[in-house]
Amino acid sequence: MRHAVAALALLGLACQGRPDAESADGWWEGPDSLDVEEAVAFTDEPYPPVPEGVLPIAELRATRLDASGDNDGPRIAAADWHDGVARCAFWEQADDLPVTVEGVVTAHPRVYRKIEGCDADEKYYGSYWLEDASGGIFVLRDSKVATFTLGARVRLNVRGVRRRYAEDMIYVAAAEVVDPGPIPLHFEVVERRVLEAGDVGRVARIQGTVVGAPSTFGEVLLQPDDLPGQCAPDDAFTRASCLVVELDTELNRRGVTFEPGDRLQVTAPVAPATFFSPSGISTFYGVYVTRLGQIERLDD
């Protein structure tokens, strides 16, 4: 008992002089609302010439694909040809593949595409555009998980190509990251009223006024400054006088949207924008956005 009393006395002495416990009042404040910028660096300086031993992308498209038709291929490298591939009637064996190309990734590798395969539709969730000094091309990838992102320099060992829905595609390739970047994306200002097939694959800068609510698939129509009042309603006729902005699946899911009357400047790779209507299917061209930093609001 005597020892217990002594211990309590020592404890009391130890507690003497201790400061009062600090109050937690005011430690935590309410959350702040911040805008996500997802900045992207751009430049009007052209990319350097392709390295020795690397095929320019424009030459790949001109010599390995028949750009005169809507569809071509798939064309598969002869070294990869086997009985399983040969049974696909519309697939071709290519003696001029594989080849090496290298360029800058101009879209976050998460672009979705569905195209027909040999036995069933094939779905690609991690695709992107690649551009060098000569031009750009779409690259199919089946996964959003990638070791690179927008602005990286990537070298591809191309083993298969195809053309589908007015767009040249690298169908099969092994990727090597040359420079993780981010490298500023080269762009060209487009002052024409509409984008054209020759623009596909290149990063373009367009400007206009939003004329309607985004579609279910995230498409926004911009009215060019020199064509007031001719871009609505949205149909196959008015689209011929419009600039199309395509927001990718992730931005659309996040609720990114614009209001009629918003003035925008958009810098992104050009892609076909397929339009379905009762009268048939039409192909227009628009810029495809995967980051908010590719869109600048021009409103005061």
Supply the pLDDT for residue 241: 76
Q: Using one digit for the tens of pLDDT, what is the confidence trace for 163-186?
A: 887 789 999 899 999 999 899 999
Supply the pLDDT for residue 225: 75
Supply the pLDDT for residue 16: 61
Indicate the SS3 state at residue 265.
strand
Same fold, 42-179 and 187-297: yes
Among 44, 297, 58, smallest CA distance to 200 is for 58
Q: Using one digit for the tens of pLDDT, what is the confidence trace for 201-244?
A: 999 998 888 887 777 777 888 888 776 667 767 666 677 778 88
Which neighbouring-strand residues pair with 219?
246
Q: Examine the pLDDT at 7 and tell me if it is beyond 90.
A: no
Q: Using one digit for the tens of pLDDT, what is the confidence trace for 68-104?
A: 556 677 888 888 888 777 777 778 888 888 999 999 9
Supply the pLDDT for residue 13: 55
42: confidence class by pLDDT, cuts 50, 70, 90: very high
Indicate the SS3 state at residue 26.
coil
What share of the chain has pLDDT > 90, as a percent?
A: 29
Q: Using one digit for the tens of pLDDT, what is the confidence trace for 98-125?
A: 999 999 999 999 998 888 877 778 888 9
What share of the chain has pLDDT > 70, as a percent?
A: 80
Q: Tell me whether strands 92-94 and 72-77 are parallel, antiparallel or unpaired.
A: parallel
- Domain ranges for the chain, please list them: 42-179, 187-297
- The CATH fold assigned to 187-297 is OB fold (Dihydrolipoamide Acetyltransferase, E2P) (2.40.50)
Architecture of domain 42-179: Beta Barrel (2.40)
